[in-house]
A = this chain, B = another copy of it.
């Protein structure tokens, strides 16, 4: 059985990946190594830099993931800095910035990097488009879930059960592409 180490401190991400990978003969093991996240314009650059950093001192197959929320009317803010913005100004700050904006379009992105020893990192990218709600709704999930309504839905991610959210989400999308890669090799 193949093993892939998931470089993350996030138990939610770990569970989701474990459950998705269980359909393949692949075992996912958490490895909370930590790595530098750079201030870049794209998640791809952040993930690539992190992957190349870990690659230099960890010689086993591993994966990592970075995600962000990009709001059209705010020029993509909070983007690659979503985690920091969440911690500092929070959901109320983001809603404040959008108070007088009629354009509520936004999308989540998720980038998985996968590295095997002596190979270049592979990236799997997922997206979920939707709008930002007028107020916080729901208590499921985490992060920006209470203010994001995915396309085709009338409820926020935080008003959905985990399974329903994972079927629609950016991270479900990138993870599906990751799984497809293994199905096709």
Q: Which residues of B contact A76 (CB under 8 A)?
A: 88
Q: Which of A74, A75, A84 has the most CB of B within 10 A?
A: A84
Interface string of A99-140 (1 = CB under 8 A from B): 100000000000000000000000000000000000000000
Chain B residue at minimum C-beta to C-beta distance from A38: B36
Selected interface stretch from A57-65, A89-97, A156-164, A174-182: A89-97
Interface check A172, CB cutoff 8 A: no
CB of A88 within 8 A of CB of B77, answer yes
Number of copies: 2
CB of B84 within 8 A of CB of A81, answer yes
Number of interface residues of A (CB under 8 A): 24
Q: Which residues of B contact A81 (CB under 8 A)?
A: 39, 81, 84-85
- A39 partner, pick from B39, B77, B99, beta carbons under 8 A: B39
CB of A49 within 8 A of CB of B36, answer yes
CB distance from A33 to the nearest CB of B (A): 15
CB of B84 within 8 A of CB of A39, answer yes
What are 10 contact pairs spanning A and B, CB under 8 A?
A36-B36, A36-B39, A36-B49, A37-B38, A38-B38, A38-B39, A75-B87, A75-B88, A93-B97, A96-B96
Q: 6 new A-B pairs (CB below 8 Å) besides A36-B38, A39-B39, A96-B99? A: A36-B39, A39-B46, A39-B80, A77-B85, A78-B88, A81-B84
